[in-house]
A and B are shown apart, each in its own frame.
Chain A
Amino acid sequence: MKSLWLLTKKNLKLLVRSKMSALVVFFAPLFIILLLGLSYNTSSNYGLNIGIYAPEFTGEVESLMSSLQEQEFKIVKYETSVDDCVKDIKGGYVHTCVSLPESLAVESNEQKEVLFYVDPSKINLVWVVQDTLGEKFNLKSQEISKGLSGGLLSAVSDTKSKLEEQRTQLSSAKEKSAAASSAAQEINQQLTALDLTVPASTYDPQLIVTFKDTASPRIKSSLSDVKEAIETVEASGLEDKTAILGSLGEVEDTLKSLDTLVSGGAGGAAASSGNTSNNQTTVTSTASPSGFLSALVLLEEELLNTKVKLTAAATAVGSTSSSLSSTTQNLQESVSALEVAQQKVTDMKASLDAQKVTDAKVLSAPLVTKIESVSQESSYLNYMFPALLVLVVMFTSLLLGTTLVMMEKNSPAFFRNYFLPLRKGTFVISTYLTTLVITLVQVLVILAVSAVFLKDNLAQLLPVAGVLLLSSSVFSFMGMGIGYAFKSEETGTLASISTGSLLLFVSGVVLPIETISPAIRSIASFNPFVISESVIREIFLFNAGISGIWPELVTLAGYTMGLFVIIVVAEYLVHQHFISGFMKHRHLKHRQQEKRDKNNV
């Protein structure tokens, strides 16, 4: 342990005293993260230059341009030709050209075309343009579509209310028709129910004649009988014959009156004195004894007239009833027709009511794509932060690993170290520890600087630091391996940078990993950069716990152990070769110096 500390201390001193190394190792990451922090700590849109060509810059176009400018796009107007704009794309002055139609208003079935001119060689920019501008124009398209749909829906709604109105009127008409039909039917029934037949026996005038001929003799016969009764009573010795005679006298008077009435005698006086029954007086109230018969005659005539009238009425009723039946029939048909019409209107309304989508916005864009962030909405720095951290740690560790090994290999003291009573692994571990110490310092510096920009994620910084150290171990050993594999510091550094770049290119940071070939893609998933970035992303953005990331951590630890073993074995096998090479190199250099000295002398 003491040896490890001594070697690490020595490495750190050498690094610090080499001004360039100190600058690169300590200040470069700080500078990078500060620069990136300041650059990407924003959620505003991309600073794209958009060329807009339109035959006429109408208010609508200007409005569109203003909305684009609101999103921090810089707008360049091209009024003469779209070719000028395309030329400027090639020159790099604008990033994309948008050729607009004469008018954005849609007034026929013809679609309006908006043309985008992009430079496909700037592939990532093309995506940005597609994403951002495409979205903007989709919104405009939706807006137009919304207007069109709104018009259509308004017409439909209007129709619906008119149908409703018509339906009400139809209903009212139907009800009225039905009522008329019903009334006609009722009238018909009532008419039909009228009994206008003239019963021949009851209203026969002969009966009156017969009555006239038979009633008078019978009354006279009864009068004669009463007179005889009076005479008999007077003749009798009855004590109370006065009362009987009085009654008989009354009967005699009645019969006389009746006889007068029927025969045309003094019956009128009797009737006016009110001694006769009410029923009889109603018929003969104005008749004289001679008028009774006349009345009967009149009655007879009246009866005949009435009979004629009734017959005529019966005929008329029959005719009317027939007409009413016909009318009822028509009315019923009319009601049926109205019912059908009403049903159809009802169906139409029901059909219109069944249209659940009545909002033009929904109709014009039934599917709204909404990107829901699975993490907290933040600035670009939050999203880029995991990749940035791993990027800095990767390059630092790779370069440090290579530099330290190279420094040791090319150090004048390399040969002396061979004679030190230390194991070869001690040097490997000390180099690793040196890298780790410096990376730790850098990570702390980076996280401290980052804390200024990422105030919401402070709690995650500690586990992130842990993962970064593990990642740093992997990259340090990789860098050390490169250091051992190459002879000169220049080639070693170049190899480190190349390795870092390769890992970066197959990580999905520069280009989406999905765009590379499937074979490489499957290998890329084992890329320590990808693994580290993924773990830090999970911790940083999704607050993942150890249970969610342990497979990645185990993989990184496995890489670390594997690389350590490989380096120790390789170092053991080729260390002597390195020293021989080192000695040979120094020896040759020395001889050349000697020759030069001799020649100078």
Chain B
Amino acid sequence: MKLIELRGVGKSFGKNGILQDVNIIIEEGDIWGIIGRSGSGKTTLLNLIAGFLEPSSGEVLHSFKVTEGPKSMHANLHRIKDQIGYAPQHNSFYPKLTVMENLLHFGQLYNLPKETLQNNIKGLLQATELAIHQNKLAEHLSGGMQKRLDLACSLVHKPRILVLDEPTADLDSVLQKDIMNFLAQVNKQGVTLIIASHHLDLMEKVCNKVAIVHQGRVHSNGYLEEIRKPFLKDNFTISLSPGENKERFISILKTLPVDKIIDRQQHLIIHPKNILKTITGLLTMIQDENLYLHDLDIRRPSLDEIFETITQEK
């Protein structure tokens, strides 16, 4: 079900054009990843989707209420605020209130029934593992816990769509994964997610749809697999352990049907003429010669690679 649609949306601040001609359709249950370099307009796009900003051109329409048909997101924001959750880049809660007080404060302001609110809070505290910290002042929480509290505050009223701007910023990799796992759980409960981040590896794992923003334009958007297709690789990479005889590997590879071997220190990127014959021959020779192969990467192009390719091309 279509929730939000961006039709030829452009946004400029004065003479400074930030975005132009953005066309995206957000459907219920999607996890959208908005990726782009710093200053590419990711946050502006999120703000347009969330209805905080009014587009300079085009329109952002929402269909939260099916019976009413699509309506301008910005103009009708006051009517659908309870359907939207927004977790900005920075934590957005009161540091001088406890975890529970923050959740209660924001939840109560959404006029939820007391029981519903209590259930929501209980569920969120468990999911974010903040239950044992519920009476701590928010400012006394660790960075990861603060981020989880921020997400909990954004979800306390059970929105249909949650917009997240760099939810994993300033967090270590473990916490980043935790957050992403949490978001995946949230999505499973029916919340549509729109995430802007530059942690592409994590985005790749969580998002089913991606929009790549570069120089004020959305270059690719839609299902990740669809985006990946034009970027499928014709090469594979082997990684060697330090001290391994790289020359020996290169000489073996040259006996196989390869077009080009690119030497990148511990990594060798091989462009085969026939990927199957080349890989089979390589593995046989490694076994015969009793060599040690640290890693063999024959995967599809990563989002990072796709992003790199797109941004370098442009």
Chain B, 248-263, CB within 8 A of any chain A CB: none
Inter-chain CA distance A413–B38, complex, in Å, is 23
B108 contacts chain A at the CB level, 8 A cutoff: yes
A139 contacts chain B at the CB level, 8 A cutoff: no
Inter-chain CA distance A43–B95, complex, in Å, is 50
Inter-chain CA distance A2–B91, complex, in Å, is 26
Inter-chain CA distance A209–B108, complex, in Å, is 174
Residues in A with CB closer than 8 Å to B110 are 420-421
B78 contacts chain A at the CB level, 8 A cutoff: yes
Inter-chain CA distance A141–B225, complex, in Å, is 109
Residues in B with CB closer than 8 Å to A18 are 96
Inter-chain CA distance A579–B53, complex, in Å, is 11
Question: If the complex has contacts A14-B96, A419-B81, are A583 and B109 also in contact, measured as CB distance less than 8 A?
Answer: no
A594 contacts chain B at the CB level, 8 A cutoff: yes
Whether A2 contacts B153 by the Cβ 8 Å rule is no
Question: If the complex has contacts A6-B105, A6-B108, A579-B52, are A415 and B94 also in contact, measured as CB distance less than 8 A?
Answer: no
Question: If the complex has contacts A421-B111, A587-B43, are A594 and B38 also in contact, measured as CB distance less than 8 A?
Answer: yes
Chain A, 559-592, CB within 8 A of any chain B CB: 576, 579-580, 583, 586-587, 589-591
Whether A6 contacts B92 by the Cβ 8 Å rule is no
B170 contacts chain A at the CB level, 8 A cutoff: yes
B90 contacts chain A at the CB level, 8 A cutoff: yes
Whether A14 contacts B88 by the Cβ 8 Å rule is no
| Chain A interface, number of residues (Cβ within 8 angstroms) | 32
A218 contacts chain B at the CB level, 8 A cutoff: no
B84 contacts chain A at the CB level, 8 A cutoff: yes
A329 nearest CB across to chain B (Å): 124
Question: If the complex has contacts A415-B86, A590-B90, are A10 and B81 also in contact, measured as CB distance less than 8 A?
Answer: no
Whether A2 contacts B43 by the Cβ 8 Å rule is no
Whether B97 contacts A14 by the Cβ 8 Å rule is yes
The residue on B at minimum CB distance from A576 is B52
The dominant DSSP class at the A interface is helix
Contact of A593 among B52, B108, B111, B170 (CB under 8 A): B170
Inter-chain CA distance A2–B109, complex, in Å, is 8
Whether A416 contacts B101 by the Cβ 8 Å rule is no
A580 nearest CB across to chain B (Å): 8
Inter-chain CA distance A414–B38, complex, in Å, is 23
Chain B, 27-83, CB within 8 A of any chain A CB: 38, 43, 47, 50, 52-53, 78, 81-82
The residue on B at minimum CB distance from A18 is B96
Inter-chain CA distance A418–B163, complex, in Å, is 14
Contact of B91 among A17, A412, A587, A597 (CB under 8 A): A412
Interface string of A3-29 (1 = CB under 8 A from B): 100110010011001100000000000
Residues in B with CB closer than 8 Å to A413 are 92-94
Residues in A with CB closer than 8 Å to B86 are 415-416, 419
Question: If the complex has contacts A416-B106, A418-B52, are A586 and B93 also in contact, measured as CB distance less than 8 A?
Answer: no
A594 nearest CB across to chain B (Å): 7
A422 contacts chain B at the CB level, 8 A cutoff: yes
Contact of B97 among A10, A414, A594 (CB under 8 A): A10
Whether B96 contacts A2 by the Cβ 8 Å rule is no
The residue on A at minimum CB distance from B89 is A590
Chain B, 130-184, CB within 8 A of any chain A CB: 137, 153-154, 166, 169-170
Question: If the complex has contacts A586-B90, A590-B169, A594-B169, are A419 and B84 also in contact, measured as CB distance less than 8 A?
Answer: yes
The residue on A at minimum CB distance from B137 is A17
B237 nearest CB across to chain A (Å): 24
Inter-chain CA distance A589–B90, complex, in Å, is 9
A591 nearest CB across to chain B (Å): 6
Residues in A with CB closer than 8 Å to B153 are 416
Q: Pick 11 A–B contacts, CB within 8 A, sort by A.
A: A2-B111, A415-B86, A416-B93, A416-B153, A419-B86, A421-B82, A421-B109, A421-B110, A586-B90, A587-B43, A594-B169
| Interface set of A (CB-CB < 8 Å, partner B) | 2-3, 6-7, 10, 13-14, 17-18, 411-416, 418-422, 576, 579-580, 583, 586-587, 589-591, 593-594, 597
List 5 tightest A-B contacts by C-beta distance, closest first: A416-B92, A17-B96, A421-B81, A586-B90, A14-B96
| Interface set of B (CB-CB < 8 Å, partner A) | 38, 43, 47, 50, 52-53, 78, 81-82, 84-86, 88-97, 101, 105-106, 108-111, 137, 153-154, 166, 169-170
